[in-house]
C-alpha cells in the first residue's frame, strides 16, 4: 500500500557572499527533527524546493503539505512597519504564502508549524504580534534558546482535533517570539497559552491546522500529523 505523500517546505539559509556567484543566494534544508516527525507518522516525505511559482505541478503529486518553522517575516507583508521583528525575510514568506493559497484552492490538507502557522494567518489576512515580550502582559516564556527550547502548557479548545487527540491541556516545546494577533476568518481558536497567546488554529473545514509550538521537538508531532492524514480519509 502506498504511503501518503507529504510535501515539506524547507528553510532558506543565506549563502556566504563569496559563494553566491557560484551557488546562488540561498541554501535549503531542515533539521533532523523534522525527518523524525515525518518518519514517526509513517508518511512519505518530499522536500519542496522553490524552483518556480508553478505550484500546481508540485501540488498534483502531494496528499498533504507541511509548512515548517523559520525566521521572522517582513512586517510589510502584513501591513506593519518593523517594531520588534528580527532579521526579517520576504522571499520565503512570499513563496510559501503563494504555495499555501494554491494548496487551499485545491483542497489539499495543510499543517503549519511555528512560522508555518504565521504564514497561514498572514495569507488569510491576519497581522502578527511582532515581539511577544514587548506586547503581551506577563508572557509565559515562549522563546527559550535553540539548544533549550522553552516548555509551557497550552489549553486545547473543545471541538477541535487537538482537543480530541490530546485532551484539555498539554505541555509543548516552544521557540518563538511572534504570534498571530487574531484568529483568521474561516478558522477557530484551537489552543492558547496561559498568557492568551494564540497557540493553534484549525480551519472550519478541518483541512488546515497550524500550531505555534514545535511538534517535531515533542511528543505531539507524529500523533498530530497522523491524525491529519487519517482525517482526510487516506486509503492508499
Which domain covers residue 144, as residue numbers?
5-231
Catalytic residue among 124, 199, 202, 216: 216
The whole-angstrom separation of Cα 144 and Cα 121 is: 23
| Residues 217, 110: Cα–Cα separation, whole Å | 19
- Active site includes 114? yes
Here the CATH number for the domain that contains residue 36 is: 3.40.50.880
Residue 202 placed within a domain? yes
The reported pLDDT for the residue numbered 235 is 56
Nearest to 41 by CA among 73, 10, 63, 12: 63
Rounded CA-CA distance 213/117 in Å is 9
Contacts of 146 (CB under 8 A, 6+ apart): 175
Whole-number pLDDT of residue 116: 98
Contact 106, 57 (CB under 8 A): no
pLDDT at 231 > cutoff 90: no
Instruction: List, for residues 145-156, the tens digit of each pLDDT value.
Output: 777 778 999 999
Give the chain's domain count: 1
Position 126 scores a pLDDT of: 98
C-alpha–C-alpha distance, residues 161 and 156, integer Å:
9
C-alpha cell, 213: 509550538
Report yes or no on 236 lying in a domain.
Answer: no
Q: What are phi and psi of 172, to 5 degrees?
A: -125, 165
Rounded CA separation 19/23 (Å): 6
**Mean pLDDT for the chain?**
94
Q: Is 199 a catalytic residue?
A: no
Q: Residues for the chain: how many in total?
A: 236
Under 8 Å between Cβ of 129 and 178: yes
Expressed in angstroms, the distance from the first to the final Cα of the chain is 6
> Does residue 100 carry a pLDDT above 60?
yes
**Marked catalytic residue, from 114, 124, 152, 177:** 114
Q: What does DSSP say about strands 110-113 and 64-67: parallel, antiparallel, or unpaired?
A: parallel
Annotated catalytic residue within 142, 176, 177, 214: 214
- pLDDT tens-digit profile of 167-177? 999 999 999 99
> Is the per-residue pLDDT at 199 higher than 70?
yes
The Cα 127–Cα 37 span in angstroms is: 29
Gap between the Cα atoms of 173 and 44, Å rounded:
25
The pLDDT assigned to 110 comes to 97
Q: Is the pTM of this model over 0.85?
A: yes
> What pLDDT sits at residue 236?
57
Query: Does some domain include residue 90?
Result: yes
Are 36 and 216 contacting, i.e. CB atoms less than 8 angstroms apart?
A: yes
What are the pLDDT digits (tens) for 38-52? 999 989 999 999 988
- 82 pLDDT above the threshold of 80: yes
Closest CA to 122 of 153, 86, 96: 96
| Beta-bridge mates of residue 188 | 202
**pLDDT of 176:** 92
Amino acid at each position: 500500500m502506498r504511503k501518503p505523500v507529504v510535501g515539506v517546505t524547507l528553510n532558506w539559509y543565506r549563502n556566504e557572499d563569496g559563494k553566491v556567484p557560484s551557488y546562488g543566494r540561498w541554501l535549503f534544508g531542515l533539521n533532523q527533527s523534522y525527518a523524525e516527525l515525518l518518519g514517526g507518522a509513517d508518511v512519505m516525505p518530499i522536500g519542496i524546493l522553490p524552483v518556480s511559482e508553478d505550484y500546481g505541478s508540485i501540488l498534483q503529486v502531494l496528499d498533504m503539505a507541511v509548512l515548517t518553522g523559520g525566521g521572522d517575516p517582513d512586517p510589510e507583508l502584513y501591513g506593519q512597519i518593523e517594531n520588534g521583528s528580527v532579521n526579517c525575510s520576504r522571499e520565503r514568506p512570499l513563496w510559501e504564502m503563494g504555495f499555501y493559497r494554491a494548496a487551499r484552492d485545491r483542497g489539499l490538507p495543510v499543517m503549519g508549524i511555528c512560522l508555518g502557522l504565521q504564514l497561514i494567518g498572514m495569507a488569510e489576512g491576519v497581522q502578527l504580534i511582532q515581539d511577544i515580550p514587548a506586547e503581551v502582559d506577563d508572557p509565559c516564556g515562549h522563546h527559550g534558546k535553540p539548544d533549550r527550547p522553552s516548555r509551557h502548557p497550552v489549553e486545547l479548545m473543545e471541538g477541535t482535533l487537538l482537543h480530541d487527540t490530546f485532551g484539555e491541556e498539554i505541555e509543548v516545546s516552544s521557540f518563538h517570539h511572534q504570534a498571530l494577533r487574531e484568529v483568521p476568518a474561516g478558522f477557530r481558536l484551537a489552543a492558547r497559552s496561559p498568557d492568551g497567546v494564540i497557540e493553534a488554529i484549525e480551519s472550519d473545514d478541518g483541512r488546515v491546522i497550524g500550531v505555534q509550538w514545535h511538534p517535531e521537538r515533542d511528543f505531539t508531532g507524529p500523533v498530530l500529523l497522523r491524525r491529519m492524514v487519517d482525517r482526510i480519509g487516506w486509503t492508499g
